[in-house]
Amino acid sequence: APGAMQNTEPSLQSVRHALDTIILAKECDVPEVLRSACYQAVCSSSLLAEALDALLAEDVSLSPRCILTLFQANNRLASLWRKITADPPLYSCTHGAAVLEYPVARWCTNVHTAGFLPNYTCHPLRGIAAIKGMIGTEIESKGFCATCCVEIQHMWEEHAEKVWGTFLEGLEKGLIQ
């Protein structure tokens, strides 16, 4: 589930542990653990490459198909994140007159240059949580009713579910089968 993946900061050691977990989960046929470990492994492309180099230097069996699938998943997550953050959202309160329209310049400042885009490129679940928090604060301050605030937050949760589903779909095709 995407919520559990949002709070773990990738490090070389965590990526290495994730790769070790992938090997064990494949050997023991535990797909739920495999999925989580794969997500943790692909949250940083530079760390993933470094961890794979170290792992392969130790002659640990990780198939070329598995390695390719991890890098493809990494690219897929980055692509999804770019799509999610490409355009500023427009929200309006259906029960009142409140509107929150992000001008392109402000969206670029808040999301692209303030670190959202590069910091969450391969960890879109954490990025969505950060945007959800930023937008949640703004819609409440603009006078949105409680119902619309919940609906907007739910929309971002749906983005997270879509990212997770797309990630799993890629794994199913390349790693789990």
| The predicted structure's pLDDT at residue 9 | 54
Q: What is the mean pLDDT of residues 120-125?
A: 81
90 bridge partner residues: 101
Whole-number pLDDT of residue 161: 92
Residue 176 has pLDDT above 50, yes or no: no
Q: What's this model's pTM, rounded to 2 decimal places? A: 0.74
Does the pLDDT at position 93 exceed 80?
no
Token code pair at residue 40: 């943790």
> Token match 């050997």: residue?
27
More reliable by pLDDT, 42 or 165 = 165
Predicted local distance difference test score (pLDDT) of residue 48: 72
pLDDT at 132: 84
Write phi, then psi, for 96 (nearest 5 degrees): -165, -165
Considering only 21-25, 37-41, 55-59, 123-127, which range has the smallest mean pLDDT? 55-59
Higher-confidence position of 8 and 161: 161
- Which of 2-6, 116-120, 149-153, 173-177 shows the highest mean pLDDT? 149-153
CB 153 within 8 A of CB 132: yes
What one-character-per-residue DSSP string does 86-98 give?
HS--EEE-TTSS-
Tokens of 79: 């692509």
pLDDT in tens, 41-77: 887 666 677 777 776 676 666 777 787 888 888 888 8
1 band by pLDDT with thresholds 50, 70 and 90: very low
Q: Which residues contact 53 (CB under 8 A, 6 or more apart)?
A: none
